[in-house]
Amino acid sequence: MRLDFIRDAANAVFIGPNGVGKSTLARNIAHHAVMNGYTALFTSAGQLLGEIAAIDSASALRRRLAHYTAPALLVIDEVGYLSYTNRHADLLFE
């Protein structure tokens, strides 16, 4: 499997109905990336947004965003399962 999208800093989005294996595929790609020397982090959108939305200082938010953006590959699972407030949407795209 080629991982050029990581080197190119490109996004990959898996779209499909529940139960077809999108999360498993994403986990397997993250595992493959790690086995090929990349760093990876797998999290759910709910966990990520719940955590960063609770942060009340700009410096703490920057540090936490740095945690999420440090790995070569960031997998955010279950993005389509949530309804977002404007703040959550802003944080997700930050």
Residue 33: CATH number of its domain: 3.40.50.300
Expressed as residue numbers, the domain containing 27 is: 4-93
User: What is the pLDDT at residue 90?
Assistant: 82
Confidence of residue 35 (pLDDT cuts 50, 70, 90): very high
User: Which range among 56-60, 66-70, 77-81 shows the weakest confidence by mean pLDDT?
Assistant: 77-81
| Closest alpha carbon to 6 in 30, 27, 42 | 30
User: Distance of CA 70 to CAs 24, 39, 66, 86, Å?
Assistant: 22, 8, 6, 25
Contact by Cβ (8 Å): 74, 41:
yes
Q: Burial, 48: exposed, middle or buried (Cβ in 10 Å; 0-12, 13-18, 19+)? A: buried
What band does 8 get if pLDDT is binned at 50, 70 and 90?
very high
Place 69 in a pLDDT band, splitting at 50, 70 and 90.
Answer: very high
Query: In this structure, which amino acid lies at residue 1?
Result: M
Domains held by the chain: number: 1
